[in-house]
Amino acid sequence: MTTSAPSSAPRIGVFDSGLGGLSVLRSIRQQLPAAQLLYVADSGHAPYGERGDDYVCARSLAIAEFLYQQGAQLLVIACNTATAAAATALRARYPDGRIVGVEPGVKPAAALSRNGRVGVMATNGTLRSERFRLLAQAHAAHLDLRLQACTGLAAAIEAGEIDAPAVHERVETHCAALRAQDVDTVVLGCTHYPFVAHHIQAAMGDTVRLIDTSDAVARRTVSLIGAPGAGSAEGPTTATPLAQLWTTGDVATLRGFVHRWLEFPCAFEALAT
């Protein structure tokens, strides 16, 4: 095991409003084991889903600039709300940059639903966005799409204790609304939610399918970065470089969450930006 990436290894910058994007970071590591991962958790300004678009866009631009200064060759916006609010502005500022956003998995949900009733669990910021409206129009016009704004759920997960009563309460409240509408597929439209997918599955029942796009985002990253041996855990790419993580919130909370959920070495720093 190494603590630094070889000079030829790709450097990938990833950011989220907080801890949620670690679900995407985990998938990227699985598919690009030799990449140098740079991650910013903007926990000091979370949750984005309850902020205005201008605020989220300003934060996204500031963090992107920081990650590019650290040598990122590709940027992953590991946040549905930030993608909706800032992806266009980021691509305009960095026209030559490779940028990957995340969107709720409406398209795969449409293909999997048996009864045509699909629930989307997401933040207010994501669901009210023009980007989401166009996504739903393109892939779900034939569906009975039931939107569930999960107020408070990302913030409860952000506290770091995913089995806390506050998390269970929020999950049950939002899932009860979807159960009443007889959905058979639920889209996890926030990168925080995969960390409580087991609670959501239990609340929705075993027959309901959950859609998480973390692996799809990682595959898109692989396709854009063009790394030798990408997606393979065999051969020379088995070295695991130290991932560098920054947070604008509490470093101890980030460290504790990472130690529970990620199985690769990480370094932690506070970030004032």
Please identify every residue annotated as catalytic.
Answer: 79, 190
Ligand-binding annotation for 81, yes or no, is: yes
Ligand-binding annotation for 17, yes or no, is: yes
Omega before residue 33 within 30° of 0, cis: no
Helices (H) and strands (E) in the chain, counts: 11, 10
Which phi and psi angles does 269 have, rounded to 5°?
-145, 150
Ligand-binding annotation for 192, yes or no, is: yes
Ligand-binding annotation for 213, yes or no, is: no
Ligand-binding annotation for 191, yes or no, is: yes
Residues paired with residue 10 on neighbouring β-strands, in sequence order? none
Residues paired with residue 90 on neighbouring β-strands, in sequence order? none
Q: Is 205 left (phi over 0), alpha (psi -120 to 50) or beta?
A: left
Q: Determine which helix (DSSP H) or strand (DSSP E) holds 154, and give its type and residue range.
A: helix 153-158
Ligand-binding annotation for 80, yes or no, is: yes
Question: Residues marked as binding for substrate?
Answer: 16-17, 48-49, 80-81, 191-192
Question: Residues marked as binding?
Answer: 16-17, 48-49, 80-81, 191-192
